[in-house]
Chain A
Amino acid sequence: MRFMVLVKATKDSEAGAPPTRELVDAMMAYNEELVKAGIMKGGDGLQPSAKGARVQFDGAQRAVVDGPFAETKELVAGYWIWECKSLDEAIAWVKRCPNPMPGPSEIEIRPVVDIADFGEMVSPEAAATWDRLKSEVGNG
């Protein structure tokens, strides 16, 4: 099963405060463990929402709203994609993660959709298109 592991933003990450040397070292060592265990399939850190934007869709209209966005603790600051045998395995790995922020923080674990999960709701053509696109972009 694949999981998306979301590191939520905090005031520090939104302020663009650079991580300490200790945290970078600890996080890098953790990433190495994830790779050695065959768990980590991808991951990135996001720049503060001040550097981002949102596009609102309404009929043919597109409105662009520049960041920063207010709801700090709901914003995403980074993510991993993991391959685990079960949700419990993903939880066990998150427990071992160094606290990704200088203060209290939160990590969200979300199972990733496999097209097979939708069964008969997806037409064979749609499933084939999805599989082909996924293989072209190479992310499982």
Chain B
Amino acid sequence: MRVMVLVKANKDSEAGVMPDEDLLTRMGAYNEELVKAGVLLAMDGLHPSAKGLRMRFDGAKRTLTDGPFAETKELLAGFWIWQVRSFDEAVEWLKRAPFDGGTEIELRPIFEMEDFGEVLTPELREQEERVRAESAKLAG
């Protein structure tokens, strides 16, 4: 199964402050372990929400709001996508991450095609597979 690991924002990340070199080094070593174990599928960090925006969908209306957004500790600052055998394995990997100081990291199982059951017709399944294969090529 695949899981998304969501690293939430804090005052520093929202202010654009870089982590110190010690943490960067430990995070680099942790990422290397994830790669060696075949767990790490993708990762990225996000710029502070001041550089982002939100679009509200309501009927045919689209309303745009510029960042920054107030609820700092609910904002996303970065993420990993992991391939694991079970949710418990993901929890065990996450426990080894070099975070501290009350940081809270969220783990969420990703929907796979089989989770959709009958809503996903054979045609849609084929389309989904094609879109995934082509977007993976673009990402490569």
Contacts and interface: CB of A to CB of B under 8 A. Distances in A.
Interface residues of B, number: 72
B15 interface: no
A138 B43 CA distance: 10
Contacts, number: 205
B42 A137 contact: yes
Q: Chain A: interface secondary structure?
A: mixed
The contact size tier of chain A is 35 or more
Contacts of A25: 124
Nearest to A105: B57
A125 to B, nearest CB: 9
Interface of B: 2, 4, 6, 18, 21, 24-25, 28, 31-32, 35, 40-47, 49, 51-58, 62, 64, 69, 71, 74-76, 78-79, 81, 87, 91, 94-95, 97, 99-111, 115-117, 119-120, 124, 127-128, 130-131, 134-136, 138-140
Interface of A: 2, 4, 6, 18-19, 21, 24-25, 28, 31-32, 34-35, 38, 40-47, 49, 51-59, 62, 64-65, 69, 71, 74-76, 79, 81, 83, 87, 91, 94-95, 97, 99-101, 104-113, 117-118, 121-123, 126, 129-130, 133-134, 136-140
